[in-house]
């Protein structure tokens, strides 16, 4: 599939999922550059942050005066930012992992539908999420937002539109400036550190009332909508559920929510972490993804037949998830730490089974009416890049529909009591991704090569660190 040609600065940039364009009086998004200038002027915005997610989902970009932003200024980043590890190192080249010989510029193309204020800044500041294009205006296919757009186009070519709803878990932890020491939960308003076993506890949420108020306040200022917030099983572990919608918009929201939650936590002298497994012996943090597909012409959920029964597409989507998600796991569990979460008896599936309202399966079908029939992918961890996690999950289901893959029978009992049915570590997961021929059409050869190279580089960096376990059990015993 050839990349789409686009201009460096569109006269109009309207999100495809919105029937009417946003206006400059809204909290989030404008339709064109004229409205962008009005938006910034009405709010007295002095600076604007032009940001984009790298392979890890870390915001990268540039800040500039708002007057420069609206005056046809060209923004660029080096291509190398998509080739370094989470620790900032650059892996060695391989046959499939290559650096751009000149480290040429990539252009930041603002998506004006994402324009919003940055509420935690003391000076009036705005932010906008940018797509990445080459100097001649072609979309760069290996950047995360474009990878997800590629999957969306595969659905659109069939007259379909995926609908998703992410759930993001995270921990609040006491500040820790020495990585050699374990993390601990912070003290709440009671003056005591909250303990585990507080699943769905209102008292557990109330321990951090002021912080949660700031999360809501910051979110509202950015036009981000939280559906629900709960306390999870771990100590000071929270979960935010987002309303269902367009995958690009929901990935943008997760991208911004992570930043928002971290900023709100630091305002209160603590950290918020999206590590998959931040504390030994405690549950990990997931990013569950609810998925359905709508026929664009009819507006109907294709997972249900007219009589309300589950459709062939519904079962084939599940079959595709079962077959392909294990090979895409490195996009859902992207770090060495992610596989510490994927262990038995830790409230996390370690299988590729599916079932009706069965939380021990990787793919759960919640109880719903036919129009809301959906499949929940419970494997992604909260450390995943939301754009890539959504792309991997939706691509796997689409492959199942395209190839008419039949699922296994639904699991009626606990599915986590047998052997682990998923890759047990990062290198195994990366090898499975590279070895799956169907992924080249889904994600593109260049992305797979770059992503695999970065993941292997991160593993080699991890292997240079001597852990406390090694010092404890090997120092005097071997």
- The answer to whether 318 touches 375, Cβ cutoff 8 Å, is yes
Exposed e or buried b per residue across 140-163, where buried means at least 16 C-beta atoms within 10 angstroms of its C-beta: bbbbbbbbbbbbbebbeeeebbbb
Q: Residues of 428-464 as b/e, b for ≥16 C-beta within 10 angstroms?
A: ebbebbbebebbeebbbeebbbbbbbbbbbbbebbee
Segments of the chain with pLDDT less than 70: 1-25, 197, 345-346
Predicted pLDDT at 148: 98
Q: State the pLDDT at residue 23.
A: 54
> Which pLDDT belongs to residue 11?
32
R_g over Cα of the chain: 22
- pLDDT for res 203: 83
pTM comes to 0.93
Give the model's pLDDT for residue 10.
35
Residue 150 tokens read as 């590629």
How many Cβ atoms sit within 10 Å of the Cβ of residue 74?
10
Measured from the Cβ of residue 473, the count of other Cβ atoms closer than 10 Å reads: 10
pLDDT digits (tens, 9 = 90+) for 141-200: 999 999 999 999 999 999 999 999 999 999 999 998 888 889 999 998 888 887 776 777
Give the span between the Cα atoms of 462 and 427, in whole angstroms: 12
Task: Report d(CA 328, CA 440) in Å as an integer.
Answer: 12
Position 371 scores a pLDDT of 96
Nearest CA-CA partner of 438 in 341, 272, 303, 323: 323
């Amino acid at each position: 599939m050839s990349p789409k040609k686009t201009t460096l600065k569109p006269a109009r940039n309207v999100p495809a999922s919105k029937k009417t364009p946003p206006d400059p009086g809204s909290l989030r998004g404008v339709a064109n550059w004229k409205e962008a200038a009005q938006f910034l002027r009405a709010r007295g915005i002095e600076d604007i942050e032009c940001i984009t997610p790298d392979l890890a989902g870390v915001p990268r970009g540039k800040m500039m005066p708002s007057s420069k932003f609206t005056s046809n200024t060209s923004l660029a980043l080096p291509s190398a930012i998509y080739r370094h590890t989470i620790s900032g190192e650059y892996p060695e080249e391989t046959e499939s992992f290559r650096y751009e010989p000149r480290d040429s510029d990539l252009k930041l193309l603002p998506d004006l539908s994402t324009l919003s204020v940055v509420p935690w800044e003391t000076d009036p500041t705005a932010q906008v999420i940018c797509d990445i294009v080459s100097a001649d205006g072609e979309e760069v296919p290996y950047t995360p937002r474009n990878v997800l757009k590629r999957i969306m186009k595969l659905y659109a070519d069939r007259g379909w539109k995926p609908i998703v709803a992410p759930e993001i878990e995270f921990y609040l932890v006491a500040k820790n400036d020495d990585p050699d020491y374990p993390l601990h939960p912070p003290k709440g308003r009671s003056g005591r550190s909250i303990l585990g076993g507080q699943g769905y506890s209102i008292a557990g949420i109330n321990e951090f009332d002021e912080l949660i108020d700031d999360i809501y306040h910051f979110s509202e200022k950015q036009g981000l909508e939280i559906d629900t917030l709960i306390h999870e099983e771990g100590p000071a572990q929270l979960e935010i559920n987002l309303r269902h919608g367009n995958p690009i918009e929901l990935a943008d929201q997760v991208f911004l929510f992570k930043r928002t939650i971290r900023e709100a936590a630091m305002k209160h002298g603590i950290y918020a972490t999206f590590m998959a497994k931040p504390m030994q012996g405690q549950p990990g943090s997931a990013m569950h993804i609810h998925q359905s597909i709508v026929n664009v012409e009819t507006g109907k959920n294709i997972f249900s037949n007219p009589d309300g029964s589950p459709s062939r597409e519904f079962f084939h989507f599940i079959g595709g998830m079962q077959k392909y998600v294990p090979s895409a796991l490195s996009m859902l569990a992207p770090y060495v730490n992610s596989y510490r979460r994927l262990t038995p008896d830790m409230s996390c599936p370690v299988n590729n089974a599916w079932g009706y309202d069965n939380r021990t399966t990787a793919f759960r079908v919640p109880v719903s009416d036919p129009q809301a029939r959906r499949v929940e992918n419970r494997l992604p961890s909260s450390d995943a890049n939301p754009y890539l996690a959504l792309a991997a999950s939706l691509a796997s289901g689409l492959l199942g529909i395209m190839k008419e893959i039949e699922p296994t029978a639904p699991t009626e009992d606990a599915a986590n009591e047998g052997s682990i049915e998923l890759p047990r570590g990062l290198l195994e997961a990366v090898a499975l991704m590279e070895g799956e021929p169907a992924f080249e059409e889904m994600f593109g050869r260049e992305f797979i090569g770059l992503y695999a190279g970065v993941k292997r580089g991160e593993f080699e960096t991890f292997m240079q660190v001597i852990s406390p376990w090694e010092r404890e059990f090997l120092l005097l015993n071997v």
